[in-house]
Amino acid sequence: MRYRLYLFWQLLRRDIESRYRGSTLGLLWPIVQPLMQLSVFTLIFFEFMQFRWPLASGEHSQTAWEYAAQVLGGLAAFNFFAELLNRSTISISGQSNFVTKVRFPLGLLPTVCCAAAVLHIVTASLVLFIFRITMQGVSLEALLQLFWLPFLLAPFVLYGLSLSLVLGGLGVYFRDLQQVMPAITSLLMFLSPIFYPASSVPASLRSAFELNPIGAAAEVLRHSFLATSEFHADTWIVHCLASGLIFFLSLSFFRRIRLGFADVL
């Protein structure tokens, strides 16, 4: 176990360092990139299309800052899953040298991919926390919500790990998956409550949207930092149970198909 943890940390550090090595901003890019996205989306949806967001007071967002904070919560969840969809398919096939090594724990490769994607949620959470204390000041409630956030997001990270295992394994056998994923992520961006609140979804479709991990994770972030959405404990419990079951099935699936990796690569 100690060897695997050491190996996991080394692979994760190498992945992050290789991504930003040589760049001027370095590890600031995970903060700068979503802020650049946020600026464009706020300009389009808030200024041009006049979208407004219902606030806890019952009013609608009157400033671009308020709307941008809501969108950032959605972007954090979306960017996490989008990176998994786009990178997991090559997490194993792109590192074939590890596949041929004797007794190398191949499950670490998609796990590292998932852990690196969590960086999107971490950086966005820091920005949202700064936004909250700037607007409302430091309070015990804000600190407690920040403390509970990892536990509330745990089932959605488990969804991501399951997705990474399945796509990483399938990507070895079906190379076309890498080409399909960008189209899927584009669709998911607008089918998830990122630029609009889940409450605006028609009642007939709301149940399906609540089961969407991207939307559910976004609502958790908004509840924790912005208090503009209710926390539905029953929905969260369903996600906990579902993510645990899906992870078990994904891990079993990965262990079965990994036996043929060396033959394909």
Q: What is the pTM of this model?
A: 0.89
Distances, alpha carbon 71 to alpha carbons 94, 100, 108, 155, 193, in Å:
33, 43, 32, 21, 9
pLDDT tens digits along 219-241? 888 888 876 666 778 888 999 99
pLDDT tens digits along 125-177? 888 888 878 777 777 777 887 888 889 999 999 999 999 999 999 999 988 88
**Which amino acid is it at 47?**
E
Alpha-carbon gap, residue 8 to 208, rounded angstroms: 35
CA atoms within 13 A on the CB side of 153: 28
Alpha-carbon gap, residue 166 to 219, rounded angstroms: 26
The domain locations on the chain are 2-264
